[in-house]
Amino acid sequence: MNNDIERILFDEEQIQTRVAELAAQITNDYQGKRPVIVSVLTGAVLFTVDLIKKIDLYAEMDFVDVSSYYGGTASSGTVKLLHDLKHSIAGKDVIIVEDIVDTGRTLKFLMELLEGRGATSIKVCTFFDKPAGREVEVATDYVGFDVPHEFLVGYGLDYENYYRNLPYVGVLKPEVYQKNDD
């Protein structure tokens, strides 16, 4: 699996240092509050687990499952809700946690889904932001790193549902796509 990676963009230590900084910022910003961490399956799981352990607050944890890439390298353009939240967010301070915001479609879909459910506030924490990929306008409140317009894998980010379990983030060798994109 490691042999499929052309170059590493963020190693495990850089990732964990940045996660701790974001958690400290959220802990500080939500003093006296009990945020609901809404993690977006599947990609955001690794980041969510690391982040929530470092947030020093009463925090709820819930999940939504949405998908638009279906394993490939390009957004299908249609976002589907595969699984809704387990708990009500009415009267709650919600933090949507994503691994990456690229075209922005997933996040826009989620904002539209969750707005109108009576949350006190909704903010977005994404570990990676790819501003050059943006096709619809969305706001991000907490960002780990801005990344270049390249297809990345690792730390939750997948290609055909693989590579999520890499502890670092890197760029796949082109032959990996070429082998499969026919």
Among all residues, which ones are annotated catalytic? 102
100 binds ligand PRP (CB under 6 A): yes
38 binds ligand PRP (CB under 6 A): no
- Backbone torsions φ then ψ of 34, nearest 5 degrees: -125, 80
Residue of minimal Cβ distance to Mg ion: 69
Residue (137 or 182) nearer to ligand PRP, CB: 137
- Backbone torsions φ then ψ of 4, nearest 5 degrees: -80, -5
**Is the peptide bond prior to 42 cis by the omega test (within 30 degrees of 0)?**
yes
Which among 12-20, 67-75, 140-148, 169-177 is the span making contact with Mg ion, rule CB under 5 A? Answer: 67-75
Task: Please choose, from the candidates 56, 51, 30, 29, the residue with its C-alpha nearest in 3D space to the C-alpha of residue 40.
Answer: 51
Binding string, 103-142, against ligand PRP, x = CB under 6 A? xxxx------------------------------------
Given 48, 142, 158, 170, the residue binding Mg ion (CB under 5 A): 158
What CA–CA distance (Å, rounded) separates 90 from 111?
14
Which among 52-60, 62-70, 88-96, 98-106 is the span making contact with Mg ion, rule CB under 5 A? Answer: 62-70
Given 35, 43, 144, 170, the residue binding Mn ion (CB under 5 A): 43
For residue 25, the partner it binds in Mg ion, ligand PRP, Mn ion, none, with Cβ less than 5 to 8 A by kind, is: none
CB of 31 to Mg ion, least distance (A): 34
64 strand-pairing partners = 40
**SS3 per-residue string spanning 74-134:** CCCCCCEEEECCCCCCCCCEEEEEEEEECCCHHHHHHHHHHCCCCCCEEEEEEEEECHHHC
Which residue carries 């900084």 as its tokens?
21
* Residues of the shown chain interacting with Mg ion in the complex, contacts defined by CB under 5 A: 69, 158
* Residues of the shown chain interacting with ligand PRP in the complex, contacts defined by CB under 6 A: 40-43, 67-69, 75, 98-106, 158
